[in-house]
């Protein structure tokens, strides 16, 4: 990437193939100089203005002292915030990037699978049973969404549109049509109103371990947990304890503290836990590249952008 007034961009994506993303960004920004940094830093270590990353390493940032902004190919930035980064470096998260619709689909699937007892019917048929269970009324399953950011709002609105009673909790006051909104110090009241709890929070020092025995015990009896955020939100031993006691009816988890889980992890064989391998919402290339390219153009012209991470908040 020779010195130029055009944007100089580098990709650091050690765990995925960065070439399709780099090729797409090159089409969106034909004037830009674009390179790819390898795990060893041998592909391209020329100083760049902007970085696009997925699971970047400290070594990458140490080799890029000139960066003005780094774009994370995902909604969560907790992995970035664990690294030692200059205070002047702007961190930019993907704002949806096609993930909102996927996340809402995942949650509604998990919700309906439980409320309609499809999970029970699956177990029955596998055991050779052919029987019907009583119909469930959606009014008996008030749904609460922890976190009303870009993704959480879409989840809450989609569930509301299915006819469920929906509430949401966030640290700061929000208002959403048809959704009861709780904030900050109203967490206990919020949890007590829920029979289905959906976690869509960012992972921060304040939210780690928030799905613990104390909080989950506040849910209505026979409650159901859906976690599409981060594995570190959940105290896994507490979930098992509440499932064994019967206070929780089950859980659908897209994230775990260790991914993939070890072969002897109790969640893998638990009859009332459904697991998926962190696929509730995958970053889509086209909308994400469109968003990143527009923001790079704006930053390169000294214009303000949205999606900037506030480090003190963790998102």
Indicate which residues carry an active-site annotation. Answer: 230, 278
**Could you give the CA distance from residue 32 to residue 115 in angstroms, rounded to a whole number?**
51
Give the separation between CA 164 and CA 144, rounded to whole angstroms: 10
- Structural Rg of the chain based on CA atoms: 22
Q: In this structure, what token pair is assigned to residue 109?
A: 């699937």
| Residue 201 DSSP one-character state | P
Evaluate whether 251 touches 273 at the Cβ level (below 8 Å). Answer: yes
Residue 190: which residues within 8 A CB-CB, separation 6 or more? 144, 167, 168, 169, 182
Virtual torsion, Cα 212, 213, 215, 217, nearest 10 deg: 150
How far CA 185 is from CA of 125, 169, 172, 191, 235, in Å, comes to 45, 10, 10, 12, 21
Q: Which of 198, 144, 129 is nearest to 176 (CA)?
A: 144
DSSP 21: H
The whole-angstrom separation of Cα 9 and Cα 6 is 10
Which among 229, 238, 248, 250 has a CA at the least distance from the CA of 314? 229
């Amino acid at each position: 990437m020779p010195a130029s007034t055009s944007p100089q961009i580098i990709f650091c994506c050690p765990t995925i193939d960065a070439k399709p993303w780099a090729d797409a960004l090159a089409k969106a920004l034909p004037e830009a100089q674009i390179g790819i940094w390898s795990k060893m830093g041998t592909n391209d270590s020329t100083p760049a203005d902007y970085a696009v990353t997925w699971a970047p390493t400290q070594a990458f940032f140490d080799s890029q002292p000139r960066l003005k902004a780094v774009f994370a190919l995902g909604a969560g930035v907790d992995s970035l915030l664990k690294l030692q980064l200059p205070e002047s470096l702007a961190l930019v998260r993907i704002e949806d990037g096609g993930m909102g619709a996927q996340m809402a689909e995942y949650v509604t699937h998990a919700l309906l699978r439980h409320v309609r007892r499809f999970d029970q019917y699956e177990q029955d048929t596998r055991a050779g049973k052919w029987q019907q269970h009583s119909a469930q009324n959606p009014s008996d399953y008030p749904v609460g969404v922890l976190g009303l950011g870009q993704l959480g709002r879409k989840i809450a609105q989609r569930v509301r549109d299915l006819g469920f009673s929906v509430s949401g909790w966030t640290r700061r006051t929000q208002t959403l049509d048809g959704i009861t909104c709780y904030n900050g110090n109203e967490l206990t009241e919020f949890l007590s109103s829920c029979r289905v709890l959906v976690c869509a929070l960012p992972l921060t020092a304040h939210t780690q371990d928030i799905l613990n025995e104390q909080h989950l015990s506040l849910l209505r009896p026979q409650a159901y947990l859906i976690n599409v955020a981060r594995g570190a939100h959940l105290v896994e031993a507490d979930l098992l304890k509440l499932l064994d006691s019967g206070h929780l009816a089950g859980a659908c988890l897209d994230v775990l503290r260790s991914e993939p889980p070890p072969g002897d992890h109790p969640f893998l064989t638990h009859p009332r836990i459904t697991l998926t391998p962190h696929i509730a919402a995958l970053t889509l290339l086209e909308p994400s590249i469109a968003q990143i390219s527009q923001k790079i153009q704006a930053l390169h012209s000294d214009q303000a952008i949205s999606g900037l991470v506030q480090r003190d908040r963790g998102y």
